[in-house]
Amino acid sequence: MSKVKLPRVVVIGGGTGMPVLLRGLKNLPIHLTALVTVADDGGSTGRLRTEMDIPAPGDIRNVIAALSDAEPMLLELFQHRFANGNGLSGHSMGNLLLAALTSITGDFYTGIKEISRVLNVKGKIYPISNESMSLHAKMDDGSIVSGESAIPLKNQRIERVFLTPETIQPLPNAVKAVENADLIVISPGSLYTSILPNLIIPKIDVALNKSKGKVVYVCNVMTQAGETTGFAASDHVQAIRDHIGGNCVDSIVVHNEPIRASVRDVYAEENAEPVIYDTEKLLEMNLQIIEGDIIDHSQSTLRHDTHKIAKLLFSLID
């Protein structure tokens, strides 16, 4: 009996948007791979990065938790953040475990593999690079801001982001995953500080532009102060294209229902507003538009609905 060949789906991203997509996709009949940003420098992650010179573990930790089928208590332990304790305060247990395993195995990716095995992770998780890196932004006034957490605080229009060291290399498995994917999903999240750092790494940009798989961008529902203020849906895609050249993004997923006034008010306090979904411009950019009511209405903050979005993405696989 011939074995059914499962479609290969790669999700690229970081931040809070990525785990939401992965939780829904992990139960579908696909080969799932997550390529995760390691440019974060805030909080527990930033401290471990500086002290141990390892790639940032925070986003990886959240992806492991999203793809894990471990006992709830074990997951709670993994995600536990210490509230006090000299030196421990603010650290998350999962970040410390990833740092410890990197130290034991001598390699960040090997550490991720080991912890994924222990926590019964479905799918593969690759850091976009096995090296520690720093993110910088050139602002529209020509000034340079360094550090992922400092960039949005400048509250100015970002012209482009770039990484140091310039010799940064992607994880070879990450490049291979992009080259062989049937569907590549660019997750929602902070556009300049969680999403683009993955796409601008040498070889990843080339692999994305050469890939025969469909490349779909799940657009943010709200703008983000200091990153995408005033951005319409087309501006998000244009930023991706400007950074990696080519027209590799061929589809965009947008939320097409009004957002409750009470939710809009909460976001307005953070200078965020719904992303305008400018159909004509998107069509001019030769994008396939996939629209739907894809947010979780039970939450007070806006999150994509993990099952609705997974179903929608699964329907895009040829």
How many angstroms separate the CA atoms of 180 and 182, rounded? 7
Helix count (H) and strand count (E) of the chain?
13, 10
Percent of the chain, pLDDT > 70? 97
Type and span of the H or E element at 72: helix 72-79
Half-sphere exposure in the Cβ direction for 218 (13 Å, CA): 31
Q: Give the pLDDT score at 213.
A: 94
- Span 8-37+128-314: which CATH code? 3.40.50.10680
Region 287-305: what's the mean pLDDT? 88
Examine the pLDDT at 1 and tell me if it is beyond 60.
Answer: no
Domain ranges across the chain: 8-37+128-314, 41-122
Examine the pLDDT at 28 and tell me if it is beyond 90.
Answer: yes
pLDDT averaged over the chain? 91
How many angstroms separate the CA atoms of 25 and 311, rounded? 8
Examine the pLDDT at 40 and tell me if it is beyond 90.
Answer: no
Residue 121 neighbours by CB distance under 10 Å? 23
For the stretch 133-162, pLDDT in tens is: 899 999 999 999 999 889 999 989 999 999
With cut-offs at 50, 70 and 90, classify the pLDDT of residue 104. Answer: very high
Q: Give the pLDDT score at 51.
A: 78
Report whether 99 contacts 108 (CB < 8 A).
no
The CA angle 11-13-18, to the nearest 5 degrees, is 75
Examine the pLDDT at 300 and tell me if it is beyond 80.
Answer: no
Examine the pLDDT at 171 and tell me if it is beyond 60.
Answer: yes
CA torsion through residues 196, 198, 199, 200, sign: positive
Report CA-CA distances (Å) from 281 to 11, 21, 120, 144, 218: 25, 26, 44, 30, 17
Q: Give the pLDDT score at 2.
A: 53
For the stretch 245-275, pLDDT in tens is: 888 899 999 998 888 888 899 999 999 999 9
For the stretch 109-137, pLDDT in tens is: 999 999 999 999 999 999 999 988 899 99
With cut-offs at 50, 70 and 90, classify the pLDDT of residue 242. Answer: very high
For the stretch 199-220, pLDDT in tens is: 999 999 999 999 999 999 999 9
How many angstroms separate the CA atoms of 147 and 192, rounded? 12
The reported pTM is 0.94
- Residues 6+ positions from 22 with CB-CB distance below 8 Å: 11, 32, 34, 63, 66, 67, 123
Residue 317 neighbours by CB distance under 10 Å? 15
For the stretch 64-92, pLDDT in tens is: 999 999 898 998 988 888 887 677 778 88
Report whether 185 contacts 42 (CB < 8 A).
no
